Amino acid sequence: GSSNEAQCASRGSACGRELACVMALPTISPRATIAVPRRGRRGILRSSTQRDEDCQAPPHDGPRSPQPSRTRPIGLPGLPESAEQAAAAGAALAATKPLTARSLARRDRRRHQEEVLAEARHALLWQTPGDWDPYAFCALRQRLLEAGHSHGVSGLTAVAAQMSELALRAGSYRVPRPTPHSIQLPSGPYGAQWIGSQSMPSMQEEAAREQAQAPPLVCTPLPPLEAVSALRAIYPHHLLVMSFEATDFSEDGTGQVLGARGSRSAAQQEMFLRTSLDYNNKAAANLCSGGASPQGLLTAQAHPYIYAAPRVVVFRGPASKGYPFLEEHEQTVVNVLVSGRSSQRPMMMKHGEYFSNKEDVGAVVERLQLLAQAAVDPELMQVEGRVDFDSHLAQGCKPVLVIAANDLAYAGAPQPRHSIGLALQTWRQLHGTQFEAVVVASGEGATAQILDKLVNIDIYSSVLEGAAPVCHWPSGTAVLELSVNRALLNIRARWQPAAERRPSQGEGGSKAAKTPRRETQAALAPCSAPGGAPGMPGAAEDPAKAAVTADEPETPKVQELPRATGMDSRRAHQIALANRKADRFVQDPMGDQKRKLEKGAEDQSGYAGAKAVAAFASPRRLELEAKLKMLRGTLGGLADSLEMPEELKAHIIASISDDQLLTRHRQDVRQDFTGAAPLHDQLRQIAGRLDLRLQQRRAELPLEAGRPLAESPEGGLPGAAAGSPQPATAPGRSVNAVPMPSRISGGSSKRAGGTSQMSPSGSPRL
């Protein structure tokens, strides 16, 4: 060993690595290095004279058994690597897994997103709350949207939420324009109050509300907070109440409603980012005791709870404007009623957006009832005994309600919009008169169109049938301009004189005077005026003219309100949808009913109207089809003058046509028997020949008896008592026609071998 060390030391620094290897190996006389292991051996030391070809494994064509390698690389910690060696090693490692174009694009996108977020934090976050540049936020957000960085937009929104938390923690914020000045947020106490069905008074459905037509619900495509800001400008002296559905909760076991930085829902994130609801949310969580959590109370399917959050301040603008901090006169104070959903992804029917389980329907209806009862009760909007009314609010005004119906068509958790619309229709009949105005804010146009079609169906149908809507319209037309359907505003403008003369309903739900309905299309009369022009009531030459008379009689005849399908307004649209199977609009009811009859009577319950149309009286069927076609054309012209959407117009016209069809069918069924058509001429001849044979048979009977047979005093047939009624003559037969007797008394007695006697009344007796 000592000789080897002396030999290596004489060679200099070039043998440094080999020296380290030799020191770690046993002492061998010739110079050795680590060789490539041969197959079947652990590891060998080859000499300097051995070639690499000798160390290669022989070729083997057969299957090899997987044997683990018993060799491992020997690390040399004491020898540092050079820069060239590290670069070569990195290149070799990169060469083993080359980056694809998709990976390179993802890496570049992530790098660009991090650069934009770093720039946003540097430009937007300041030490003083409120030093916010909305224009820079909009520019950065636009850059991220154009580059397709969805996660970057979420990070940018988190920066805005962080600034809102700083402002709420400080209790004030500073507005830089036009002059930098500080604005104080309304001070507390920020409280909350839990409300359940057990703590609310029992709901009494008054019959007066069912008979009167409730005011319409304004379905708007605006988001809930934007609708609140618009209504505060329209109703500055009314109590403003809005609802909010919480969908995201913490998963740490507390079940608390997540704020702006933790929620995934865009609506919930914006609600906590732009308002001071976070303080009320923490107070509501502190009130839960006994193992209860906010998530369990809000999402309960049976006996759910909601909590009232008074004096919530909206102090930031929308995202489209860069979440700007608002001036003091631009802030809005609103009372929020927070609720939840019993199921994030409820089971729906195959056809249409309807709940499949009746428990889900009951949960939605119960939450709407709690919402209505809590919004009209001023005692629930109290904070430490002080009623939450601003100083300038009038105590006698009805509240204004905003129902949040956003995120119903969200891809991750869709909700059945048709079932929710039908529930709102029933809620409108029961509680619509208790509010000055009710706005349903959905945040998108498609959802607003569906809800408006379902909720206000009776108002549209009554107008097209020629009757003025009998309801308490909201004061002013500004709130109707928020509706997704301009037809409501046109109906209000056309029937404005009648709306002004009609007294409004008071707080106690008193009945309003009803306007008599015109008798139009009662029995499918031809829709034509005396001059020959189409005469639809309300469809005058000038559409802007009122369709009611100026002078009403002193004692008007109270008649039934217009109904779309011949039933009450609450269930009219429900039956129509059930007959059409998930809201399939029937453009041609006559053709559709004929196709159903040709297909076969699989479901006899839905073909009542079709049987009347498909009768074998061809002239009557053609006449009925012509009248229905004229009716549809007249209704379509009136709907176009009111600027109704095509989908809504087709649905209402189909409903009215079905109603008229069923009405005519009922009239045909109840038609008097005396008004039936006379018998055919051939039947008359048969009846005459039968009468002649009866007369001959009557003459032969006395001869067979052997003595003359007296007739009854009334001139009837022999064998009939004096007081016995004669069978009625069939309509259309001749007067001389005699019904066929079942058995003659005299003849039957002779054939039976008996003797007959005459009764005191003159009739034979066996």
The CATH number covering residue 191 comes to 3.40.220.10
Give the pLDDT mean for 541-557: 40
Asked if residue 347 and residue 217 are part of one domain, the reply reads yes
Confidence at 517, pLDDT banded by 50, 70, 90: very low
Asked if residue 110 and residue 238 are part of one domain, the reply reads no
In angstroms, rounded to a whole number, what is the distance separating the alpha carbons of residues 756 and 764? 6
Asked if residue 156 and residue 293 are part of one domain, the reply reads no
What is the tens place of the pLDDT at every residue in 381-393? Answer: 654 444 444 544 5
Residue that has been written with the tokens 């995120």 in this structure? 407
User: Does residue 681 surpass a pLDDT of 80?
Assistant: no
Residue 371 confidence (pLDDT): 92
Per the structure, the complete domain to which residue 158 belongs is given by 104-183
In angstroms, rounded to a whole number, what is the distance separating the alpha carbons of residues 187 and 166? 15
What is the tens place of the pLDDT at every residue in 295-313? Answer: 999 999 888 999 999 889 9
* CA quadruple 237, 308, 480, 654: dihedral sign: negative
Asked whether residue 135 is domain-assigned, the answer is: yes
Asked whether residue 534 is domain-assigned, the answer is: no
Higher pLDDT, 624 or 434: 434
Residue 640 confidence (pLDDT): 80
Residue among 733, 613, 619 nearest 676 (CA): 733
Characterize the bridge pairing of strands 305-314 and 332-340: antiparallel
What tokens appear for 509 in the block? 């739900």
Asked if residue 345 and residue 266 are part of one domain, the reply reads yes
Asked whether residue 563 is domain-assigned, the answer is: no
Residue among 748, 764, 766, 749 nearest 711 (CA): 764
Asked if residue 168 and residue 142 are part of one domain, the reply reads yes
Asked if residue 225 and residue 165 are part of one domain, the reply reads no
What tokens appear for 183 in the block? 């604005």
Residue 611 confidence (pLDDT): 46
- Biggest CA–CA distance in the chain, Å, is 171
Higher pLDDT, 705 or 154: 154
What spatial distance separates the first Cα and last Cα of the chain, rounded to whole Å? 156
Q: Which of 496, 520, 550 is the last residue of a domain?
A: 496
What tokens appear for 284 in the block? 């509501």
Task: Find residue 369's DSSP bridge partners.
Answer: none
- Our CA dihedral for 680, 684, 685, 688, rounded to 10 degrees, sits at 170
Q: Which residues fall within 8 angstroms of residue 356, CB to CB, at 6 or more apart? A: 346, 347, 348, 349
Asked if residue 378 and residue 367 are part of one domain, the reply reads yes
Give the pLDDT mean for 70-80: 44
Q: Are 147 and 112 in contact (CB under 8 A)?
A: yes
DSSP 322-391: T-PBPPGGG-EEEEEEEEE-S-SS--B-SSSS-BSSHHHHHHHHHHHHHHHHHHS-GGGGEETTEE---T
3-state secondary structure of 321: helix
Q: Which of 474, 496, 518 is the last residue of a domain?
A: 496
CA distances from 437 to 114, 338, 491 (A): 47, 20, 17
Characterize the bridge pairing of strands 400-404 and 386-387: unpaired
Asked whether residue 282 is domain-assigned, the answer is: yes
Asked if residue 136 and residue 241 are part of one domain, the reply reads no
Tell me which DSSP letter residue 316 carries: B
Confidence at 763, pLDDT banded by 50, 70, 90: very low
Q: How many residues does the chain have?
A: 766
Give the pLDDT mean for 337-357: 88
CA distances from 401 to 128, 242, 658, 660 (A): 36, 6, 35, 37
Query: Of the ranges 50-59, 107-116, 210-219, 294-303, which is most confident?
Result: 294-303
Higher pLDDT, 366 or 65: 366
Whether the upstream peptide bond of residue 134 has omega within 30° of 0, thus cis, is: no
Confidence at 590, pLDDT banded by 50, 70, 90: low
Asked whether residue 173 is domain-assigned, the answer is: yes
Rounded to the nearest integer, the mean pLDDT of the chain is 68
User: Does residue 377 surpass a pLDDT of 50?
Assistant: yes
Asked if residue 404 and residue 338 are part of one domain, the reply reads yes
Q: Are 392 and 236 in contact (CB under 8 A)?
A: yes
What is the tens place of the pLDDT at every residue in 194-233? Answer: 998 776 665 544 444 445 678 899 999 999 999 999 999 9
Q: Which residues fall within 8 angstroms of residue 250, CB to CB, at 6 or more apart? A: 256, 257, 258, 262
Q: Are 299 and 256 in contact (CB under 8 A)?
A: no
pTM of this structure: 0.58
What is the tens place of the pLDDT at every residue in 278-292? Answer: 989 999 999 888 788
What tokens appear for 725 in the block? 């009624």
Residue 370 confidence (pLDDT): 92
Q: Which helix (DSSP H) or strand (DSSP E) does residue 637 occupy? A: helix 618-641
Asked if residue 426 and residue 387 are part of one domain, the reply reads yes
Structural domains of the chain, count = 2
Whether the upstream peptide bond of residue 30 has omega within 30° of 0, thus cis, is: no
Asked if residue 350 and residue 313 are part of one domain, the reply reads yes
In angstroms, rounded to a whole number, what is the distance separating the alpha carbons of residues 654 and 643? 18
Confidence at 337, pLDDT banded by 50, 70, 90: very high
Residue among 457, 518, 465 nearest 487 (CA): 457
Asked whether residue 421 is domain-assigned, the answer is: yes
Higher pLDDT, 592 or 366: 366
Q: Which of 447, 468, 496 is the last residue of a domain?
A: 496
* CA quadruple 471, 477, 479, 481: dihedral sign: positive
What is the tens place of the pLDDT at every residue in 652-674? Answer: 787 777 777 777 666 665 554 44
- Our CA dihedral for 289, 294, 295, 300, rounded to 10 degrees, sits at 80
Residue 404 confidence (pLDDT): 93
Please state, as a whole number, how many other Cβ atoms lie within 10 Å of the Cβ of residue 331.
18
Q: Are 630 and 526 in contact (CB under 8 A)?
A: yes
What is the tens place of the pLDDT at every residue in 414-424? Answer: 899 999 999 99
Asked whether residue 476 is domain-assigned, the answer is: yes
Asked if residue 194 and residue 159 are part of one domain, the reply reads no
Asked whether residue 643 is domain-assigned, the answer is: no
Identify the weakest region by mean pLDDT among 185-194, 343-352, 449-458: 185-194
Confidence at 265, pLDDT banded by 50, 70, 90: confident
Whether the upstream peptide bond of residue 189 has omega within 30° of 0, thus cis, is: yes
Residue 460 confidence (pLDDT): 85
In angstroms, rounded to a whole number, what is the distance separating the alpha carbons of residues 583 and 576? 8
3-state secondary structure of 182: strand
Helices (H), 45-149: 83-96, 101-124, 134-147
Give the pLDDT mean for 82-99: 58
